[in-house]
Amino acid sequence: MPTKIKLRQRPIKDGRESLYFDIYPPIFNPIIGKESRREFLNLYIYSNPQTKEQAEHNTATLQIANEVLQEKQELLKQGKYEFTPEQPIKVSFKEVERKNSDKDFLIDLLQQVRNIEKQILNQLQS
């Protein structure tokens, strides 16, 4: 049976949801030393966005998660899927709200997360 990966959301406190990959059947995760079905992305979205900025944050974060999903699916096809070491990506929701008038903030945030993901993937490929 081929391994499949799906992007899923899990409710957490503060009216947010955590994004993670659901992998079936489970694959070996060398970081924890056993098979695992989940890889948490340390990316979060608002469950019920109250402002335009929160909605834009959700859109940008989901776009990042989908890009990572595509990269992971490609690695899986090549037989090179590796779990990303858990390095928290700092996304401050308070800062999003504080800078809600600054539309460039979300673009900068997206670029920062993409750069971090590229660094992680480069480390894994080395």
Nearest CA-CA partner of 96 in 27, 34, 37, 16: 16
* End-to-end Cα distance, the chain: 29
C-alpha–C-alpha distance, residues 66 and 79, integer Å: 20
Question: What would the pLDDT profile of 56-89 be if each residue is shown by its tens digit?
Answer: 999 999 999 999 999 888 887 877 766 665 544 4
C-alpha–C-alpha distance, residues 121 and 126, integer Å: 9
pLDDT of residue 59: 93
Domain boundaries along the sequence of the chain:
4-125
Question: What would the pLDDT profile of 34-44 be if each residue is shown by its tens digit?
Answer: 777 888 888 99
